[in-house]
Amino acid sequence: MNAEPVSLGGLDDAWRSLLAAAQEARGRAYTPYSRFAVGAAVRGGSGRIYTGANIENASSGLTVCAERVAVWKAIFESEQTLDALALITETGATPCGACRQVLSEFAADLPILVADTQGRVWMTSLAALLPDAFPRVSYAETDQ
C-alpha cells in the first residue's frame, strides 16, 4: 500500500469525525456475495460530510463502491469540490482504480485516511494512488 501508518490517537477532530462517519456507513453495506463491507466518508468543500457503503449486485459489474456512493451524494447536494476521504474495510484497502478516477474529477489531490477494523490507520493521497489520472477537462473550451 502506498501509504504511511499514522496513530489513531494522533488524528485531529476533523479526521476522527470523518473516520467515525465512514465506520458507521460500513454498517450499512449490502454485501451478500463478497461479505467485504466498505464504509466511506467524504468531506465536501462546504465542510459537510457525506457517507457511502458498497452495494453489491448479483451481476457484479453493477456493484457500486462506497467511495462513489459518498461522492455522488456530495455532488447531488451541490458540492463542487472534495476536501478529504476516510475509508474503512476489514483489511485497510485503498480505493479501486475507478473510484480513484472519479475522486480526481472533484479534487486534484485529496488526502485519504485508510483504516482497518483492527484500529490500524494509514494516510495517503489521491496523487500517490493515481499519479497519472485522466485530467478534468471542459469540453466547451476545447476544439471539437
Which residues are tagged catalytic? 67
- Cα separation, 78 vs 44, whole angstroms: 9
> What grid cell was written down for 141?
473550451
- Cα separation, 127 vs 124, whole angstroms: 8
Quickly list DSSP for 80-108: --EEEEEEEESS-PPPPHHHHHHHHHH-S
